[in-house]
Amino acid sequence: MDARVNLLNGLPVEAAKPRRPSRAEAEAAVRTLIAWAGDDPGREGLLETPGRVIRAYEEFFAGYEQDAGAVLSKTFKEVGGYDDIVLVRDIPFNSHCEHHMVPFVGKAHIAYLPHDGVVGLSKLARLVEVFARRLQTQENLTAQIVDAINEHLNPRGAAVMLEAEHMCMSMRGVRAHGASTVTHRFTGVFAEDRVEQDRFFAMTGTR
């Protein structure tokens, strides 16, 4: 938040969103990085690389243009009275670490206890994509997914677990190949009832 204060109501004023560079500026930045790495951005094999990188970035970071509320907007009320756990496990995802801008890759397990209907199962996978395709930390990604479920589905409880390997650990630094990072967050009934937590772990095969 910007330190300035709105004189009308005394509330902080949000900082202006940075200007988004043009495609030409972005490609120029890639050429600068290639040169900084020690190669020649003008040689044949690298001439088209800046354009390829920008097109790849449009895919990697498509989540900035997507809305979790839209993904979860349609629910189904006619579920025959079903009110037990809905779980989708082993949802593959890839994201990029906001500290080093290198990938982390893994799988997500998502569960919720319906309150007033259910959402299409594919929507939970799409929800993961919305937040994974941004610069992230695994901890924040976990929280964003469960918060979106709570906000838009209003379940009696939600549970999210992510397991991922981070290239910033396996490709550089300590080079801990194969190390897996696990994060989870429980809300509602899952946070309050250890039995429901144990059911979640058993159903995901993580305990």
Please tell me the predicted confidence (pLDDT) of residue 13: 53
Closest by CA to 161, choosing from 136, 134, 139, is 139
Q: Give pLDDT, residue 6.
A: 52
What confidence score (pLDDT) does residue 173 get?
79
Other CB atoms closer than 10 Å to residue 178's CB: what's the count?
7
pLDDT attached to residue 171: 81
Q: CB under 8 Å, gap of 24 or more: what pairs does 48-57 form?
A: 50/26, 51/27, 53/27, 54/23, 54/26, 54/27, 54/30, 57/26
What are the pLDDT digits (tens) for 81-128? 899 999 999 999 999 999 999 999 999 999 999 998 999 999 999 999
pLDDT at residue 1, as a whole number: 41
Q: Which residue has 């939600």 as its token pair?
A: 158
Active centre residues (catalytic): 97-100, 138, 166, 168
How much is the pLDDT for 178? 82
Give the pLDDT of residue 206: 86
Measured between alpha carbons, how far is 175 from 11 in angstroms, rounded to an integer?
46
Ordered per-residue pLDDT tens for the chain, 207 residues:
444 555 445 555 556 778 999 999 999 999 999 999 999 999 999 999 999 999 999 999 999 999 999 999 999 998 888 999 999 999 999 999 999 999 999 999 999 999 989 999 999 999 999 999 999 999 999 999 999 999 999 999 999 999 999 988 888 777 878 889 999 999 999 999 999 999 999 999 987
pLDDT score for 10: 54
Note the pLDDT of residue 126.
Answer: 98
